[in-house]
Structure 1
Amino acid sequence: MIEGVKVKKLLKHCDDRGFFAELVRDDEPELLAKFGQASWSMSYPGVIKAFHYHEKQDDLWFFPSGNAQVVLYDLRENSPTKGLTDIYYMGEENPIMLLIPKGIAHGYRVLGERPATIIYFTTESYDPENPDEKRISWNDKEIGFNWNTKYK
Structure 2
Amino acid sequence: MGSIVGVMKKQLVKHCDDRGFFMELLRDDDEMYGSFGQASLSMSFPGVIKAFHYHRLQDDIWFFPSGHAQVVLHDMRPDSESYRQTQVNYMGEDSPYLLFIPRGVAHGYRVLGSRAATIVYFTNMAYNPAQPDEYRLAYDDPDIGFDWSTKFR
Question: Shared topology, TM-score over 0.5?
Answer: yes
- Is residue 108 of structure 1 aligned with residue 106 of structure 2? no
Residue 144 of structure 1 and its aligned partner are, at CA, apart by: 0.1
Residue-by-residue CA offset, 1:19-60 (whole Å, 9 max, x unaligned): 1000000111x2121110000000000000000000001000
Q: Which amino acid aligns with 1:27?
A: D
Q: Which residue of the partner structure matches residue 82 of structure 1? A: 83
Cα distance in 1 between the residues matched to 2:138 and 2:67: 24
Q: Which residue of the partner structure matches residue 134 of structure 2? A: 133
User: 1:56-75, aligned counterparts within 5 Å?
Assistant: 56-75=57-76
Q: How much identity, in percent, do the aligned residues show?
A: 62
Give the secondary structure class of the aligned counterpart of 1:105. Answer: strand
Cα distance in 2 between the residues matched to 1:32 and 1:8: 11
Q: Which residue of the partner structure matches residue 48 of structure 2? A: 47
Q: CA RMSD in A?
A: 0.5
Cα distance in 1 between the residues matched to 2:45 and 2:32: 28
Q: Which amino acid aligns with 2:19?
A: R
Cα distance in 1 between the residues matched to 2:137 and 2:113: 25
TM-score by length of 2: 0.98
TM-score by length of 1: 0.98
Task: Could you tell me which runs of 5 or more consecutive residues in structure 2 were left unpaired when the two chains were aligned.
Answer: none
Cα distance in 2 between the residues matched to 1:52 and 1:125: 16
- Contact 1:51-1:105 at 8 Å conserved across structures: yes
Q: Which amino acid aligns with 1:19?
A: F
Find 1:12's aligned residue among 11, 14, 24. Answer: 14
Runs of at least 4 residues off by over 2 Å: none
Q: Which amino acid aligns with 1:5?
A: V
Cα distance in 2 between the residues matched to 1:138 and 1:27: 35
Query: Paired residues, what number?
Result: 151
